[in-house]
Structure 1
Amino acid sequence: MKEISAFEILPVTREIAVKAAEIDADLIKRGEALSLAEILIAATAINHNLILLTRNIEHFKGISTK
């Protein structure tokens, strides 16, 4: 737990939920899919203007940051 306590936990707000829905709709239109967790991570990073660090670059490559 010590390692986790070094990070700020960001709640899923209405704005993040709306952005997540937009991301999901865009992925569906393109015939792509991500897990709900990945979509929420991306939406949170976009909403807070954060850099997303991941080993799954391919998963997040097609997500618009706007």
Structure 2
Amino acid sequence: MRCFPYTLKDGAKAWFMTLQPSSLTTWEAVYNKFMGKFYSLQKTTDLRTKIATFSQMEGKPFHEA
């Protein structure tokens, strides 16, 4: 948990630094707080739908799809 702040940058790091020290004591708490701040339920649902319905366009290389 001590290394987590070093994995963040920009807005995520600024947000994390505003939290009370020792307010997040488990990875589940970190996950819930982070996801609640940066990924709304609608955004998460939209991204999951895009992943689940992905299709490669005809004639387009996979790495460009």
Q: TM-score, normalised by structure 2?
A: 0.28
Q: TM-score, normalised by structure 1?
A: 0.28
Larger helix share, 1 or 2: 2
Between the two structures, name the one with larger relative contact order (CA 8 Å, sep ≥ 6).
Answer: 1
